[in-house]
Amino acid sequence: MTRMIGRREFVVQSSTAAAIGMAAAAASSARAATSANDQIRVGIMGLGRGSALASAVESIPNAEIAYLCDVDSRRLATGLGKFGGKQSRKPQGVGDFRRILDDKSVDALIVAAPDHWHAPATILACSAGKHVYVEKPCCHNPREGELAIAAARKHDRIVQVGTQRRSWPVIIEAMDKLHTGEIGRVLYSRGWYANHRPSIGKGKPAPVPEWLDYSLWQGPAPERPFKDNYLHYFWHNFWHWGTGELGNNGVHALDMCRWGLGVDYPTRVISGGGKYRYDDDQQTPDTHTVTFEFGDKTILWEGLSWSPRGMEGETFGATFHGERGTIVLTGSGYAIYSLTNKETGKSTGPGGDEVHITDFFNSIRQQHPSHADIAEGHKSTLLCHLGNIAYRTGRVLRCDPHNGHIQSDDEAMHLWAREYRPGWEPVV
């Protein structure tokens, strides 16, 4: 099993100024103009979600997967057999992502490990001079998001969050319509996610599988004995590692809601719901509503993990309600409705990971702001954390509209940060 090396044993490397990306509309021409000298070498940490991201990287010109990393030796072997055939050099396989950070020829780290790793890995990568593509949510708790921003700025690194719709041309088009008054002044938005997830059961203590480096999987989180219902997905439902459905998928909808309304930090957060469907170990709610107030605008989010039919008959989406009509975003398209519910326009377009990762790579090359900078990703992720904190405390949260900090509630503010495994406290 890989020895855990404390965070302070890392060698901090400085690097030169980072670049920033092109708009999605110019992505194709930028790729065509890129020379071989602009090749970007990446390491991918976590081969669950990371496998989909690896497929996207393989499809992008002048990008190379230098490393694949996973603490599950089976997943690593599968990834090494699947990826790398389209490039001149096969990726190296490692169990410890810090070996990627030690390689000065690597330009960027893609963080697709569990939530509790997102910000700590981002901070370490920035310190080692790497740019970072970090999956959503960008942090396990609000304080980590603040630290990730500080690390990106201190080391002048591009840190892009995996809220892919920020780069989808049709979603950008819909946001332009909202912001230029297509439906008048927009006052209200709602987002949702619905799924038919199974019970996670009641876990039993079990020996750590021989294929798993459980010590490194836990990483910065305080150690917990292994149980047989943690890996590889149900950790989402434990506060120790995950952020529930709100952090897992709600962040995508809330990012669009916040973007469309043009708001940053709420003034009040109200949460309702509970764990209703199964008698199992799940700690996070399976039925969850959160209201976020922003002075004269409001966002409502609904999560339903055990029933797949959501609003508008869709499992995922967001709506925007203005003085002259409504815009509905579902999938990779949108529709516009008048106040009489007559459809007055619609559009669909491509989605997926490739266009967003292309924006990340171009942001490294071209010194142009990326579509999902860590500061914007933190604001959207913070809504998820505030919704979860309101749920866990059972109280209405009143927040500072300048930074989202919870006011006059020490118990709620205690959940702003977490405890860490000794030696793994994030430091910028």
Domain residue spans of the chain:
7-166, 168-200+232-353+380-414
pLDDT mean over 85-114: 97
pLDDT, tens digit (0-9, with 9 covering 90-100), for 334-343: 999 999 999 9
- What is the rounded CA–CA span in Å between residue 133 and residue 265? 23
pLDDT, residue 368, reads 81
pLDDT, residue 38, reads 87
Q: Which candidate, 49, 41, 48, places its Cα nearest to that of 65? A: 41
Q: Which candidate, 383, 229, 213, 202, places its Cα nearest to that of 303? A: 383
- Who has greater pLDDT, 272 or 369? 272
State pTM to two decimals. Answer: 0.90
- CA R_g for the chain: 21
What is the percent of the chain with per-residue pLDDT over 90, rounded to a whole number? Answer: 88
Q: Name which CATH class applies to 168-200+232-353+380-414.
A: alpha beta
- Provide the mean pLDDT of the chain: 91
pLDDT mean over 87-102: 97
Helices (H) and strands (E) in the chain, counts: 13, 15
pLDDT mean over 341-355: 95
pLDDT mean over 178-189: 98
How far are the Cα atoms of 5, 16, 58, 157, 414 from residue 427, in angstroms, in the given order? 15, 20, 33, 16, 19
- pLDDT class of 21 with cuts at 50, 70, 90: very low
- Does the structure show a pLDDT above 90 at 4? no
Contact 269, 387 (CB under 8 A): yes
Residue 285, judged by CB atoms within 10 A of its CB (0-12, 13-18, 19+), counts as buried
- Who has greater pLDDT, 94 or 24? 94
What is the percent of the chain with per-residue pLDDT over 70, rounded to a whole number? Answer: 91
- What is the rounded CA–CA span in Å between residue 393 and residue 413? 10
Contact 391, 273 (CB under 8 A): yes
- What is the rounded CA–CA span in Å between residue 324 and residue 111? 42
Amino acid at residue number 2: T
Contact 401, 195 (CB under 8 A): no
- Who has greater pLDDT, 62 or 32? 62
pLDDT, residue 35, reads 35
pLDDT, tens digit (0-9, with 9 covering 90-100), for 293-315: 999 999 999 999 999 999 999 99
pLDDT, tens digit (0-9, with 9 covering 90-100), for 215-254: 999 999 999 999 999 999 999 999 999 999 999 999 999 9
Contact 36, 8 (CB under 8 A): no
pLDDT, tens digit (0-9, with 9 covering 90-100), for 263-278: 999 999 999 999 999 9
- Does the structure show a pLDDT above 60 at 14? no
Taking domain 7-166, whether its CATH number is 3.40.50.11260 is answered by no
* Terminal Cα-to-Cα distance of the chain (whole angstroms): 28
- pLDDT class of 369 with cuts at 50, 70, 90: confident
